[in-house]
Structure 1
Amino acid sequence: MYVQGGVVIGPGNSTTSTGDPHHTVRTAVPLTVGVEEEFLLVDARTFRVVPAAPHVLATAGGLPGELHPEGTRYQVELSTPVAHSATALRKELVALRRTLGRAARAHGCRLLAAPSPVLPVEGPLHLTDDEPRQREQHRRFGSLTDTLVSCGRHVHVGTLDVDTAVTVSNRVRPWLPTLIALAANSPFWGGRDTGHASWRAMAWSGWPSAGLPPHFTSTAHFRRSVQTLLASGAALDVKMVYWDLRPSLRWPTLEIRAPDMSPDIDTAVLQAELARALVATALRENAEGRPEPVLREDVLHLARWRAAHDGLEGFGLDPYSGEEVPAADLAEALLDLVAPELAAAGDLDHAAKTMAALLRDGSGAHRQRAAFARRHDLTDVLRHLADETETL
């Protein structure tokens, strides 16, 4: 049991009511979900990143828009079609991962579902073929571009018009640190243990257009914030709006960008299930006329840092009070909050079992450190990640 904003959330009262104990407001239209996953390509023997993306993608083929390059030639990305169920999403993820994995092996590589290359990247950065944009990005942001060699998982929940996506984002924001803790999978960076569970979250927030989004008072406020990023030089274009959560500027979706990439398919599906259920919960609260949550911005920023530092095994901060709380309790509180919407979508059983397994077996960061502890050899970490990536 856990207190969120003065409301007790626990196993006995996970369903939100409108006042009538027999009636709960539901969203009228089922929400869709789509996932983008970014991968590293590593040499099958040395496990160092290799700039093989153009060759791997050419071999993989696939439908337009499903497999494509990322910011560097060390990376490839998949995008699932729009899915109406977690079962359909899982099927697409497995099929696309298998296609990329086969293509990688054809070029002496292994596919790595990891947020960081673990080992140092040697030599100059191999950027994608969009050279004018990449050169300008490197000129303007310098060493920040080194963090482009990192991978996340982006979950799109739709269909939402931009006005709705903006209001929903305000209700999802408090849970971004918990989503970061659940997905934490980047303790090693540049050949050493960073002391954080998700160093990617820390490194990526160095970009002036990244990190937590503002609390938006209106759609006009959202558009002004984007325009300010562009006008100030903090972003070259709208593609560089790197907030952890954003109304998509391309699709009718709300995009959750906070989670680290991870190899486990069940964890990927869990993140999509939680994202969709959070959006559904926010829509329900909007329909019920509930006031938006009031947060101290400094507390939310500290909660994000604590989630990146401790991950799932340590402590987090209650985003409302700033009190220290076991990260596992925050994860269970999130599950309790969205349980009605998970149940309505048919996702509750899978989400609960996957969450329980994470809490029992540890986060990706915990498992990486366990792999390293056996021989104090980072290639063991990379082999562990590659093997998990190929376990479908």
Structure 2
Amino acid sequence: MEQIPTFGVEEEFLLVDEQGHLSDRGPEVVEASARPDGDVQRELARSQVELASEVCQDAAELLDRLTHFRSRLAGEAGKRQLRLVATATPLLAEQHPPGITPTPRYRRMGEHFGLIARTGTTCGCHVHVRIPDRATGVRVSNHTRPWLPVLLALTANSPFDGGRDTRYSSWRYVLWSRWPSAGPPPLFASLDDYESRVAALLEAGAMLDRGMIYWDIRLSEKRPTLEFRISDVTATAREAATLAALVRALVLTELSELDWPPPRVPGEVLRANLWRAARDGLDGSALHPETGRLTPVPALVGQLVERVRPALTHAGDLDFVTESLAWVREHGNGAQRQRRAYARRQELCDVIDLLSLH
């Protein structure tokens, strides 16, 4: 088994007022939350706040850091009579939604991409796993991309948007897919192929800079990591740590199998499978990454765990992941729990209460 890579997580949250409507004070909360033990950043929308964990060794350590950072951000929001909400799309309808964060880059994005940038605020969870080099990262992306629908279905946490049930489990993924540089990564022939496709997107104006490589798996431009951007922000820190442990175990597993050719899932088939995962979440089925047969998602989650079990054991995360997934099986993922909270009284304020950080 390969050496265990370090990992970390970035999480994006919505900032709302006491009634649950989006607030434009995200930059203010970011400035007040800055500390040397983690990274808090502005995001495209003024109603968003992003945190980045430290580099971690195992899932338990990551959970501790995410819990700490979430609590600190929630505290800064609370001082301003605001709340941070761990959902991937805004719950309530907004008559005058907050605008774009006023930095030169974000203003340029707003002008270039119009309503794609100015509407459809979404919050994701991004997992970074250290890789030996960029060429190896491209090969790992090729091997792991067929499992993206399973990871999306497991973490779906955005069934409501603008006061309506979207009939999707991850409406964030649908909205995010509007960006011309988003979606599942291609099957790359090499690192040079990766770079040539990036250059073509830049030349076409589909991206303004390399920070806009929005594929669901990409090489990080700032860190020696492979970044998985497939998931909604999760309702709990433990779910985020569990996702990260699964992703790292998948990377570790594929690192040991790079001599085998990757599954050649066509881009259009993978995109269709991701749409289905976004719609149905844990309640649905998806194409098996290896056989192509339609399989219930809970069974696919179990098969993913079995596939990466040696890596989870090697990393010391097996018990953590097993216990977390047992909890999700009993209580549901974020989308299921949101709908259950809403069903009690048909009030979205109950969903906001469920998802507000403390």
Q: TM-score, normalised by structure 2?
A: 0.96
CA shift, 1:321, in A, is 4.4
For residue 23 of structure 2, what is the aligned residue in structure 1?
A: 50
Pairing 1:293–2:267 present: no
Q: Which amino acid aligns with 1:301?
A: R
Q: Are the counterparts in 2 of residues 144 and 206 from structure 1 also a CA contact under 8 Å?
A: yes
Correspondent of 1:348 among 318, 323, 328: 318
Q: Which structure 2 residues correspond to residues 1-392 of structure 1 after superposition, within 5 A? A: 26-27=1-2, 29-44=3-18, 46-63=19-36, 66-123=39-96, 125-130=98-103, 132-147=104-119, 149-286=121-258, 289-386=259-356, 389-390=357-358
Q: Are the counterparts in 1 of residues 157 and 235 from structure 2 also a CA contact under 8 Å?
A: no
Q: Which amino acid aligns with 2:73?
A: L
Q: How many residues align?
A: 358
CA shift, 1:65, in A, is 5.8
4+ residue runs over 3 A deviation? 319-322
Using the TM superposition, name which of 52-61 and 272-281 deviates more: 52-61
SS of residue in 2 equivalent to 1:316: strand
SS of residue in 2 equivalent to 1:336: helix
- Structure number with bigger Rg: 1
Q: Which amino acid aligns with 2:15?
A: L
Q: Which runs of 5+ in 2 are unaligned?
A: none
Give, in whole Å, the separation in 1 of the partners of 2:262 and 2:305: 20
The alpha-carbon distance between structure 1 residues 318 and 159, as it changes in their structure 2 partners (threshold 3 A), is: closer
Q: Which runs of 5+ in 1 are unaligned?
A: 1-25
CA shift, 1:278, in A, is 0.6
CA shift, 1:320, in A, is 4.2
CA shift, 1:119, in A, is 1.1
Give, in whole Å, the separation in 2 of the partners of 1:61 and 1:247: 26
Q: Are the counterparts in 1 of residues 120 and 175 from structure 2 also a CA contact under 8 Å?
A: no
The alpha-carbon distance between structure 1 residues 159 and 296, as it changes in their structure 2 partners (threshold 3 A), is: closer
Give, in whole Å, the separation in 1 of the partners of 2:27 and 2:53: 20
The alpha-carbon distance between structure 1 residues 92 and 216, as it changes in their structure 2 partners (threshold 3 A), is: same
Alpha carbon RMSD of aligned pairs, Å?
A: 1.5
SS of residue in 1 equivalent to 2:344: helix
Give, in whole Å, the separation in 1 of the partners of 2:89 and 2:223: 27
CA shift, 1:140, in A, is 2.1
Give, in whole Å, the separation in 2 of the partners of 1:64 and 1:284: 33
The percent identity for this pair of structures is: 43
Give, in whole Å, the separation in 2 of the partners of 1:160 and 1:148: 36
Give, in whole Å, the separation in 2 of the partners of 1:323 and 1:355: 23
Give, in whole Å, the separation in 2 of the partners of 1:64 and 1:71: 23
Q: Which amino acid aligns with 1:317?
A: L
CA shift, 1:382, in A, is 1.1
Q: Which amino acid aligns with 1:53?
A: G
Q: Are the counterparts in 2 of residues 147 and 203 from structure 1 also a CA contact under 8 Å?
A: no
Q: Are the counterparts in 2 of residues 115 and 152 from structure 1 also a CA contact under 8 Å?
A: yes
Q: Which amino acid aligns with 2:6?
A: T
Q: Are the counterparts in 2 of residues 147 and 204 from structure 1 also a CA contact under 8 Å?
A: no
SS of residue in 2 equivalent to 1:48: coil
Q: Are the counterparts in 1 of residues 54 and 65 from structure 2 also a CA contact under 8 Å?
A: yes
The alpha-carbon distance between structure 1 residues 147 and 335, as it changes in their structure 2 partners (threshold 3 A), is: farther
Q: Are the counterparts in 1 of residues 138 and 194 from structure 2 also a CA contact under 8 Å?
A: yes
CA shift, 1:88, in A, is 1.7
Q: Deviation digits for residues 344-377 of structure 1, max 9, x if unmatched?
A: 1110011111112212221110110111111111
Give, in whole Å, the separation in 1 of the partners of 2:261 and 2:347: 51
SS of residue in 2 equivalent to 1:96: helix
The alpha-carbon distance between structure 1 residues 362 and 65, as it changes in their structure 2 partners (threshold 3 A), is: closer
